Amino acid sequence: MTAKPETAPYRAAFTAHPADALADQRKSAFARFETLGFPTRREEAWRFTNLRPLQQAYLPGTATASKPDIAAYAFDGESYRLVFVNGRFAPDLSHTGALPKGVRLDNTAKLLPGHQDLAQSLLDDTDTAGGQGFAALNAALFADGYVLVLEDGVTLDHPVEIVHWGDAPDQSFHLRNLIKLGTGSRATILETYIGEGRYWTNAVTLVDVAAAASLRHVKLQDEATTAIHFGQVRGTLDRAARYDGFVLTLGSELSRHDSFIRYAGENAECGLFGAYLLRGAQEATNMTVVDHATPHCTTHEVFKGVVDERAHGVFLGKITVREDAQKTNANQLNKNLLLSARATVDTKPELEIFADDVKCSHGATVGDLDEDAMFYLEARGISPDEARRMLIEAFAADAIDRLEGEPALRAHLAAHVQRWLNVARVPS
Amino acid sequence: MLNIKNLHAKITDGREILKGINLDVKPGEVHAIMGPNGSGKSTLASVLAGRPGYEVTEGSVTFDGKDLLPLAADERAREGIFLAFQYPVEIPGVNNMYFLRAALNAVRRHRGQPDLDAGQFLKAVRAKLKELEINDDLLQRGVNVGFSGGEKKRNEIFQMAMLEPKLGLLDETDSGLDIDALRLVSNGINKLRSPSRAMVLITHYQRLLDYIEPDHIHVLSGGKIVMSGDKTLAAELEKRGYAMLDETAA
Q: Is A386 on the interface with B (CB under 8 A)?
A: yes
B173 SS3 class: coil
The CA distances from residue A131 to A26, A81, A197, A243, B64, in Å, are: 17, 33, 28, 24, 69
Q: From CA A249, how far away is CA A261, in angstroms rounded?
A: 20
Q: How crowded is the C-beta side of A295, counted as CA atoms within 13 Å?
A: 7
| Residue-level length of chain B | 250
Q: Mean pLDDT throughout A121-129?
A: 68
Closest CA to B174 of B158, B154, B199: B154
What pLDDT is recorded for position A128? 56
Whether the per-residue pLDDT at A426 is higher than 60: the answer is: no
Residues A199-209 pLDDT 10s:
999 999 999 99
Q: Mean pLDDT throughout B138-163?
A: 90
Cβ distance A386 to B50 less than 8 Å, yes or no, reads: no
From chain B, the residues in CB contact with A384 under 8 A are: 72, 74
Whether the per-residue pLDDT at A425 is higher than 70: the answer is: no
The CA distances from residue B13 to A338, B9, B103, in Å, are: 25, 11, 32
> CA-CA-CA-CA torsion for B57, B62, B63, B67, nearest 10 degrees?
80
Whether the per-residue pLDDT at B135 is higher than 80: the answer is: no
Residue at A26: amino acid letter: R
Residues B73-116 pLDDT 10s:
999 999 999 999 999 999 998 999 999 999 999 999 999 999 99
pLDDT band at A22 (very low <50, low <70, confident <90, very high): confident
Q: Mean pLDDT throughout A392-410?
A: 93
Judged on CB neighbours under 10 Å (0-12, 13-18, 19+), A229 is buried
Whether the per-residue pLDDT at A19 is higher than 90: the answer is: no
Residues A25-79 pLDDT 10s:
899 899 989 998 998 888 888 889 888 888 888 998 876 778 888 999 999 999 9
| Residue-level length of chain A | 428
Q: From CA A41, how far away is CA A52, in angstroms rounded?
A: 11
Closest CA to A148 of A81, A87, A61: A81
Q: Is B72 on the interface with A (CB under 8 A)?
A: yes
What is the least distance, in Å, from the CA of A304 to any CA of chain B? Answer: 13
Look at A156-160, A196-200, B133-137 and tell me which has the smallest mean pLDDT: B133-137
Q: Mean pLDDT throughout B118-135?
A: 88
Q: Is B170 on the interface with A (CB under 8 A)?
A: no
What pLDDT is recorded for position A125? 61
Residues A314-330 pLDDT 10s:
999 999 999 999 999 99
What pLDDT is recorded for position A191? 98
What pLDDT is recorded for position B250? 43
Is the sign of the CA dihedral A376, A377, A380, A384 positive or negative? negative
What pLDDT is recorded for position B181? 85
What pLDDT is recorded for position A424? 65
Q: From CA A117, how far away is CA A404, in angstroms rounded?
A: 33
Q: Mean pLDDT throughout A340-358?
A: 95
From chain B, the residues in CB contact with A386 under 8 A are: 102, 106
Cross-strand bridge partners of residue A302: A273, A333
What pLDDT is recorded for position A428? 47
From chain A, the residues in CB contact with B51 under 8 A are: 375, 379
Whether the per-residue pLDDT at A1 is higher than 70: the answer is: no
Residues A133-177 pLDDT 10s:
899 999 999 999 999 999 999 999 999 999 999 999 999 999 999
Residues A363-388 pLDDT 10s:
999 999 999 999 999 999 999 999 99
Chain A interface mutation, best of B42, B47, B94, highest count of A Cβ atoms under 10 Å: B94
What pLDDT is recorded for position A258? 95
Question: What is the DSSP code string of A99-120?
Answer: PPTTEEEEEHHHHTTT-HHHHH
Cross-strand bridge partners of residue B45: none
ipTM computed for the complex: 0.95
Domain boundaries, chain A: 5-372
Angular region, A60: left φ>0, alpha ψ -120 to 50, beta rest: beta
Whether the per-residue pLDDT at A362 is higher than 80: the answer is: yes
Q: From CA B116, how far away is CA A223, in angstroms rounded?
A: 37
B43, B8 in Cβ contact below 8 A?
no
Q: From CA A92, how far away is CA A83, in angstroms rounded?
A: 8
Look at A97-101, A251-255, B60-64, B128-132 and tell me which has the smallest mean pLDDT: B128-132
Whether the per-residue pLDDT at B155 is higher than 70: the answer is: yes
Between vectors from CA A322 to CA A316 and to CA A328, what angle results, nearest 5°?
A: 80
pTM: 0.90
Whether the per-residue pLDDT at B15 is higher than 60: the answer is: yes
Q: Is B112 on the interface with A (CB under 8 A)?
A: no
Whether the per-residue pLDDT at A298 is higher than 90: the answer is: yes
Task: Between A400 and B181, name the one with better pLDDT.
Answer: A400
Q: How crowded is the C-beta side of A386, counted as CA atoms within 13 Å?
A: 17
